[in-house]
Amino acid sequence: MSNVPADLRFLKSHEWARLEADGTITVGISDHAQQALGDLVFVEAPEPGRHVNAGEAAAVVESVKAASDVFSPVSGEVVASNADLGGQPELINQDPYGAGWIMRVRPDDKAQFASMLDAKAYAAALAAETH
Amino acid sequence: MKAMHEKLIFEHSAPGRSAEAQYPQVPVEAPIPAALRRAGAPLLPEVSELQAVRHFTRLSQLNFSIDTHFYPLGSCTMKYNPKACNQYAMLPELLNRHPLAPESTGQGILQILYELQEMLKEVTGMRGVSLTPMAGAQGEFAGVAMIRAYHKARKDLARVEIIVPDAAHGTNPATATMCGCTVKEIPTLPNGDIDLDSLRAAVGPQTAGIMLTNPSTIGVFERHIDDLRRIVHEAGGLLYYDGANLNAILGKVRPGDMGFDVIHMNLHKTFSTPHGGGGPGSGAVGVSERLLPFMPVPIVGSDGDRYRWLDEKDLPQTIGRLSGFMGNTGVLLRAYIYMRMLGRDGMQRVSEFATLNSNYLAARLRAAGFELAYPERRASHEFIVTLRREAHEWGTNAMDFAKRLLDYGFHAPTTYFPLLVPECLLIEPTETESKEELDAFVDAMIAIRREAETEPDKLKGAPWTLPVRRLDDVRAAKQLDLTWKAA
Amino acid sequence: MPFIPHTEDDIRTMLEAIGAPDIDALFDEIPANLRAPGLPGVPPALNEMEVGRLLAGFATRDGRPLNFIGAGAYEHHIPSAVWAIVTRGEFYSAYTPYQAEASQGTLQLLYEYQTMMASLTALDISNASLYDGASGLAEACLMAVRANRKSKSQRILLPAALNPTYRDVVQVIAGNQNIAFELLPYDQKGGQTLVSALEPYSGQDITAVVLQQPNFFGTLEDADAATDWAHANNALLIGVVNPTSLAVLKPPGQWGRLGADIAVGDGQPLGVPLSSGGPYFGFMATRTEHVRQMPGRIIGRTLDLDGKPGFTLTLQAREQHIRRSKATSNICTNQGLLVTAATIYMSLLGARGLAQVAGTSMQRTQQLVDALTRVPGVRLAFDRPRFHEAVLLLDRPVKPVLEALARRGIVGGADISARYPSLGNALLVCATETRTLADIDTYAQALAETMRNSAAAA
């Protein structure tokens, strides 16, 4: 069973998001997603300064058997991306909610974050998907 | 004694050595201005002719091939490649002809290509054929590009959506994207047919066409092809036939008679040109009446007894050129020779015996306790075994079976394709395999299944007897080592 | 039954196991109204002896004229060992190496090929090949759009002195994806692309600049200046090169201060016969930073479960069978067999042999130009240094001259007048190391007689 931290918000497409104290939103992929993809070999994170729209493919994660888009849950400007993933994509496998974060976005509209799934709803969606 | 390991060619090198019979020995100083001259020699091997011959012969011995092993690779049609096709395609006059030499010096080759076009028209039931696409994927590209050109010529500009079944080969959606189209996937029913209700809901004024393989990638004939054609045509879309599985129906039913507007053929499958370790292929396209003006050029035309190339001047609405010259002529020659050797009856026997072998193998595996993915359906030239029970009970998945088959001297079937069926093996024996070979394959599958139950590690660690054991793909992708560097 | 091993007994036993009365019953899911009545339009079967006679007849009719055309496909000596090994069943009849353990021969050979091509182009990495040079350039243009993150324009500059068929193919393959191609003119006197023609684009958003070296006319380009201009303007530089020439000419990786970003070309000169236009193969090399944007198969070296080195397809997540509609290209094949030929060819010749082939071809072409321009009514079009091709200008239409030469067993060059009307009656000729001085004499005499016997244009 995969880990779904209670303090995060999620998309059905398996991205997680956390609202930081400075108002930015950190984005990564869920424990379930990293398990499904297997050992990651490459991460393409967006360049800071880029404006992304909610639902837009902002990053790509790649394993030997699959490549998957990472959708931004909110519209806004990318203020940071995780440079450590360049040399260590396995950080996402090891610590998807911590050292394996992918990007930080300053949202245009905070309501988009609020409309994401909470942990309970995401866990329910996962359960529905596997049955 | 077979080679199990061979050093890199660079590791055989010694400075100053080369195969000196192979190039002019009079020293020349290329008259090149200093600013345009190369600095430092490229890293090419320095070996004798014998060293090179021995090295590459040894490398060849590390391969499985049709000539050495049964190769039941689903959707790839690994049939015997007759030696005559190679020998007579390599006649020096055919081999040394420059593609731009005057047509008057190439009436022989032009006649061959013209007759090949005519034979392919006959076996597909299409109105025109262009031989120029250099591979199946390029044939697909040409097909979708023609569909787009057709709609554009009618000022029907909204038609940019291509429908593909979820079981389709990955090239179908990739091709649609390359042609500037969007892709809509529709589901397959549990019985293997396409869900016509979903198709009805999917078509509309945005529909450019649908891409279909029939028999489909799950190895069954689409029974409602008539209804399907009606739905797509009535919505204003065109039908694209992916000829990957043409071997299954050769001479029995023709894509043109099924109502398809465009088809590509993989000559390296149905018409037995070599796979060559991944190419060259050849992806001739056939079209219905309404797509004739859009065919890729050049095409061979005939003015009575003279043959000539038709080009942009003859087909002003052509989608254009796909290669530097006229496509993979050497491959086309091999297909021509093969077709002439089969003749009209032999061509029908291809599908008959491919289907007989496939159904026999399916029946025997089923009797041995393997689960067929579509047991209620007649197998076409290929069929799917699902190993989900074996995976569930013993933890041995389809890849483990595939790798263990290599130890038993059989090339693995296609694994994990189509994606719809869990733990699947897609098995295509082709018509050129004997009953004895098929029986030996069944024996191997039964033996491996027994191992799966009693000694599953034999499968999980397989192969054990090949030049290498399972390779670390994650390491290959993370620590990229794509070229050799001197230590 | 040719190529089908079944005996009557086999068929009976197999049908029993299936539970079908006859073979026809196996097609019972095909609607009856669609069943084909047979294939009357296909001729009856020939046996191997008969088909051999048939093909020999076609071949004899075409004969073996003395060839002086290049224009993208070059007649070089091919060592006997090359095709003797290439047509071994273990290479010839193997599939794409998806089962790595059963394909180490093909995979190691491709790794050796990648090493040779990367070194020949002086770039970091090479793929395992594409279909041909023309489609390879189209793939390079699509790749440049993906790789050049600084550019949003999808504008690519193509020289008019680029092989015009390459231009056509690029337009067909890449044209559906909203890429705009703009033409760079060439100097009418030298035949080289005018680097000054780039100036109007300075400061604009250009995705890539293409340069062919040597260009279609055989003329050597100022690759350094074009490359530096591209990089100064945040554009990528795509070099289209002849692999034989790279033994002596500055390779793309050495162009300008930073080197070209992508090199492509047709690998045909490396041991692949002319064979009326194909199969050839396209090669592509680039810098490591662009590896994930590169289309086509790539082979990597890794370790097996026992820690022993081995070879496998890698970076497959870019490819169509995984990425589907988001793949870098729909390409599935490489040109495995032709790459096998090229790898053996390069191994036999080595750097010295390849340089000798390049140098001798340059020398022969110079001798050919000298001999042909002594014929009244023939002059040289361009005065700049060239590789192994040259454009000649005739005082009359080229086509009838070529037809007359063909009747004498000489294929005298490519008529490029229609593609370059401003040149007039233009003939592109080539002589490689396979043409002797006697061959050149034969051509010059035949041309002189042909020109004497036909009137010059008014």
Annotate B85-147 with DSSP letters as a single string: HHHHHT-HHHHT--TTS-GGG-HHHHHHHHHHHHHHHHHHT-SEEE---SSHHHHHHHHHHHH
Say whether residue C34 is in contact with chain B using an 8 A CB cutoff. yes
Cβ within 8 Å, pair C308-B360: no
Contact list in C for residue B297 (CB cut-off 8 A) is none
pLDDT, averaged across chain A: 92
Helix axes B435-454, B398-407, angle to 10 degrees: 120
Cβ within 8 Å, pair A42-B473: no
Integer CA distances (angstroms), B109 to A43, B128, C418, in order: 51, 19, 25
CA distance A36 to chain C (A): 15
Could you tell me which chains touch chain A, where touching means 3 or more CB pairs under 8 A? B, C
Cβ within 8 Å, pair C88-B60: yes
Tell me how far apart the terminal alpha carbons of chain B are, to the nearest angstrom.
31
Could you say which residues from 108 to 127 on chain B have a Cβ atom under 8 Å away from some Cβ of chain A? none
Say whether residue B478 is in contact with chain A using an 8 A CB cutoff. yes
Cβ within 8 Å, pair C111-B49: no
Query: Which CATH number, 3.40.640.10, 2.60.40.1940, 1.20.58.740, 1.20.1370.20, labels domain C80-343?
Result: 3.40.640.10
Task: Band the pLDDT of C216: cuts 50, 70, 90.
Answer: very high
Kindly report, residue by residue over C355-392, the tens digit of the pLDDT: 999 999 999 999 999 999 999 999 999 999 999 999 99
Task: Band the pLDDT of A68: cuts 50, 70, 90.
Answer: confident
| Residue A131 counted as domain residue | no
Kindly report, residue by residue over B71-106, the tens digit of the pLDDT: 999 999 999 999 999 999 999 999 999 999 999 999
Say how far apart CA B242 and CA B225 lie, in whole Å. Answer: 14
Task: Band the pLDDT of C192: cuts 50, 70, 90.
Answer: very high
| Residue A111 counted as domain residue | no
pLDDT, averaged across chain C: 95
Q: What's the whole-number mean pLDDT along residues A83-108?
A: 95
- Count the domains in chain A: 1
| Residue A129 counted as domain residue | no
Q: What are phi and psi of C207, to 5 degrees?
A: -75, -45
CA distance C232 to chain A (A): 21
| Residue A56 counted as domain residue | yes
**Which residues lie across from C158 on neighbouring strands?**
C183
Q: What's the whole-number mean pLDDT along residues C83-87?
A: 97
The nearest alpha carbon in chain C to B412 belongs to C99
**Could you say which of C120, C249, C288 has the minimum Cβ distance to residue B32?**
C249
Helix axes B107-124, C48-62, angle to 10 degrees: 130
Cβ within 8 Å, pair C317-A47: no
The nearest alpha carbon in chain C to A65 belongs to C317
Residues in chain B: 487
Could you say which residues from 382 to 441 on chain C have a Cβ atom under 8 Å away from some Cβ of chain B? 385, 402-403, 406-407, 411, 414, 433
**Is the CATH code 3.40.50.300 the one for domain C66-76+351-453?**
no
**What is the C-alpha R_g of chain C?**
26
**Could you say which of B57, B348, B470 has the minimum Cβ distance to residue C304?**
B470
pLDDT of residue A66: 80
> Quick one: residue C122, left, alpha or beta (phi over 0 = left, psi -120 to 50 = alpha)?
left
Say whether residue B32 is in contact with chain A using an 8 A CB cutoff. no
Cβ within 8 Å, pair C317-A65: yes
Could you tell me which chains touch chain C, where touching means 3 or more CB pairs under 8 A? A, B
Say how far apart CA C242 and CA C249 lie, in whole Å. Answer: 10
Say how far apart CA B415 and CA B400 lie, in whole Å. Answer: 10
Say whether residue B39 is in contact with chain A using an 8 A CB cutoff. no
Say whether residue C224 is in contact with chain B using an 8 A CB cutoff. yes
Contact list in C for residue B324 (CB cut-off 8 A) is 72-73, 132-135, 163, 165-166, 169, 266, 277-278, 280
Domain boundary assignment for chain C: 8-62, 66-76+351-453, 80-343
pLDDT of residue C31: 93
Between C418 and A1, residue with greater pLDDT:
C418
CA distance B156 to chain A (A): 29
Asked if C241 contacts C411 with a C-beta cutoff of 8 angstroms, the reply is no
Say how far apart CA C107 and CA C100 lie, in whole Å. Answer: 7
Max intra-chain CA distance, chain A: 41
| Residue A33 counted as domain residue | yes
Cβ within 8 Å, pair C321-B171: yes
| Residue A17 counted as domain residue | yes
> Would you say residue C196 has pLDDT above 60?
yes
Say whether residue C266 is in contact with chain B using an 8 A CB cutoff. yes
Task: Band the pLDDT of C323: cuts 50, 70, 90.
Answer: low
The nearest alpha carbon in chain B to A62 belongs to B477
Contact list in A for residue C292 (CB cut-off 8 A) is 42, 44, 62
**Could you say which of C103, C114, C274 has the minimum Cβ distance to residue B63?**
C103
The nearest alpha carbon in chain A to C318 belongs to A67
Q: Which domain holds residue A66?
A: 9-106
Cβ within 8 Å, pair A67-C149: no
> If we measure between CA atoms, which residue out of C69, C349, A19, C88 comes closest to residue B41?
C349
Token pair listed for C257: 């201060």
Q: Which residue has the tokens 């009307």?
A: C421
When scoring B472, B473, B479, B482 by the number of chain A Cβ atoms within 10 A, the one with the most, hence best to mutate, is B473
> If we measure between CA atoms, which residue out of B266, B280, B325, B265 comes closest to residue B298?
B325
Say how far apart CA B73 and CA B380 lie, in whole Å. Answer: 14
Listed as ranges, residues in chain B with pLDDT below 50 are 1
The hierarchical CATH code for the domain B85-342 is: 3.40.640.10
Say whether residue B479 is in contact with chain A using an 8 A CB cutoff. no
Cβ within 8 Å, pair C316-A64: yes
Cβ within 8 Å, pair B24-C356: yes
CA distance A39 to chain B (A): 7
Could you tell me which chains touch chain B, where touching means 3 or more CB pairs under 8 A? A, C
Contact list in B for residue A39 (CB cut-off 8 A) is 474
pLDDT of residue B178: 86
Kindly report the CATH number assigned to the domain that includes residue A74.
Answer: 2.40.50.100
**What is the C-alpha R_g of chain A?**
14
Cβ within 8 Å, pair A63-C317: yes
> Would you say residue C308 has pLDDT above 60?
yes
The nearest alpha carbon in chain C to B43 belongs to C119
Contact list in B for residue C317 (CB cut-off 8 A) is 477
pLDDT of residue B174: 86
The nearest alpha carbon in chain C to A69 belongs to C326
When scoring B59, B434, B484 by the number of chain C Cβ atoms within 10 A, the one with the most, hence best to mutate, is B59
Task: Band the pLDDT of C458: cuts 50, 70, 90.
Answer: very low
Domain boundary assignment for chain B: 85-342
Cβ within 8 Å, pair B253-C5: no
pLDDT of residue B1: 46
Helix (H) or strand (E) holding B161: strand B161-165
Say how far apart CA B339 and CA B337 lie, in whole Å. Answer: 5
